[in-house]
Amino acid sequence: MNRLRFFTAGESHGQALTAIVEGLPAGLSLSEADIAKELQRRQRGYGRGDRMKIETDHARLLSGVRYGKTLGSPVSMLLENRDWPNWTTKMAVEPMEAPIGKLQMPRPGHADFAGMVKYRQDDLRNILERSSARETAMRVAVGAIARRLLDEFGIRICSHVVCLGGVDSAFSALRIFNQHDDAITPVLDEWWAGIERAEASPVACADGRAERQMIEAIGQAQKRGDTLGGAFEVVALNVPVGLGSHVHWDRRLDGLLAWAVMSIHAIKAVEIGLGYQVSALPGSQVHDELFYTPERGYHRKRNHAGGIEGGMSNGEPIIVRAAMKPLPTLSTPLQSVDTATRQPKAAFKERSDVCAVPACAVVAEAMLTIVLADALMEKLGGDSIDEMRKRFQELPNVPLGW
């Protein structure tokens, strides 16, 4: 059983989204401002729809925190949907004398059709409201809490877009962290400079040339009534050696990370380190040789493994890549079937984004953060942040320089 777990509830156009986070240590500093910062990052991105113009996401802490410190009890949060006043009839909890018309034209690529069949519903509204990516707002809120925990131990997590609409960025963690050899400082300087550019970019891209082409691609897709997907990298630095385990399938850190990122709406592929490229290379070009010097301790000259070997963190930066498909809600709808008449009909169309890859990268950061926070708590144990700090100081001294 995971030490840190969470549950979310709420519909896209319901009154609010809620979350309960269980397993946090007592004494961790936490404020609503910590959470607001990450929620604002999730709303970023060129190509977002009108919903982001309506919502100004702010999660309220309702329990588990007193005087700015966690109590060790469950933390609950509430994020009200500002669009709710426009949906009080369509999403009413109580029975309605005259309910609105049913939606019966499932969108290809969405949860609509499979959810309708699974739950035996004849109104797709009953499926699409919960299956909407609006749910990820609470994942980001939970991730912000987990980030506060990792901050206590110097673990840093960031992301950037590497591809959007077929346009590739020249900035890549795989390239940067495979060139460090014995010069760590220049590599870190290059990395953080790129991340700063990505944070300021409307498409979360560190490559100015690619950024301009990505923006142009989004504009063209919008004119066509189409949508675009892409790919991003999430990187964790200063992760201690030994998070996760090789002893059982459900404790392997790479498996947990892949599961967490793959659970995000519209994600269709996840890679760690070289990922798919390992299938075409000999072992001599894949595996990261190990070295030792008194000055640096144990270290590598490349990071093809993406920071994980045998299901455990090895001290190198953890590098996760994920591919996001284009969103299935198109302003020029695809062909579908009216499930009431079984006749051909255009798919249902609702307000949506043209592209949400930059926002999805922030959600993936949150999921990566949650998994690493849980793995760290499993490693260190303890019911309070003070106990965790003490045990962290007792970990084997394996200086890796990151």
Task: Report whether 138 contacts 207 (CB < 8 A).
Answer: no
The closest of 250, 245, 248, 200 to 358, measured between CA atoms, is 200
Mean of pLDDT values over 174-201: 86
pLDDT in tens, 356-371: 999 999 999 999 999 9
What's the chain look like in SS3?
A: CCCCEEEEECCCCCCEEEEEEECCCECCECCHHHHHHHHHHHCCCCCCCCHHHHCCCCEEEEECEECCEECCCCEEEEEECCCHHHCCCCCCCCCCCCCCCCCCCCCCCCCHHHHHHHHCCCCCHHHHHHHCHHHHHHHHHHHHHHHHHHHCCCCEEEEEEEEECCEECCCCHHHHCCCCCCCHHHHHHHHHHHHHHHHHCCCCCCCHHHHHHHHHHHHHHHHHCCCCCEEEEEEEECCCCCCECCCCHHHCHHHHHHHHHHCCCCEEEEEECCHHHHHHCCHHHHCCCEEEECCCEEEECCCCCCCEECCEECCCCEEEEEEECCCCCCCCCCEEEECCCCEEEECCCCCCCCCCHHHHHHHHHHHHHHHHHHHHHHHHCCCEHHHHHHHHHCCCCCCCCC
Mean pLDDT of 280-291: 94
Region 115-129: mean pLDDT is 96
Would you say residue 51 has pLDDT above 80?
no
Domain hosting residue 181, numbered range = 5-393
- Max CA-CA distance within the chain? 77
Give dist(CA 264, CA 356) in Å, integer.
Answer: 12
Domains held by the chain: number: 1
Confidence category of residue 398, pLDDT binned at 50, 70, 90? low
Tell whether 400 is covered by a domain.
no
Question: Residue 66: what are its φ and ψ, rounded to 5°?
Answer: -140, 130
d(CA 292, CA 297) in angstroms, rounded, equals 5
pLDDT digits (tens, 9 = 90+) for 223-233: 999 999 999 99
Nearest-10 Cα torsion for 147, 148, 149, 153? 90
Residue 121 lies in a domain: yes
pLDDT, position 178: 81
Classify residue 398: in a domain, yes or no: no
Residue (of 267, 378, 257, 359) closest to 39 by Cα position: 359
Structural domain includes residue 114: yes
* pLDDT digits 0-9 by tens, 7-25: 999 999 999 999 999 999 9
CB atoms within 10 A of CB 78: 17
The pLDDT value recorded for residue 275 is 96
Q: The whole model's pTM is what?
A: 0.94
| Span 87-116, pLDDT tens digits | 999 999 999 888 888 999 999 999 999 999
Sequence letter at residue 46? Y
User: How do residues 195-233 score in pLDDT, each as one tens digit?
Assistant: 999 999 999 999 999 999 999 999 999 999 999 999 999
Question: Does 67 map to a domain?
Answer: yes
- What's 212's domain CATH number? 3.60.150.10
* pLDDT of residue 400 exceeding 80: no
Indicate the pLDDT class of residue 294, thresholds 50, 70 and 90: confident
pLDDT at 1 over 50: no
State the pLDDT at residue 2. 56
Q: Which residue has the tokens 């990122």?
A: 261
* pLDDT score recorded for residue 301: 87
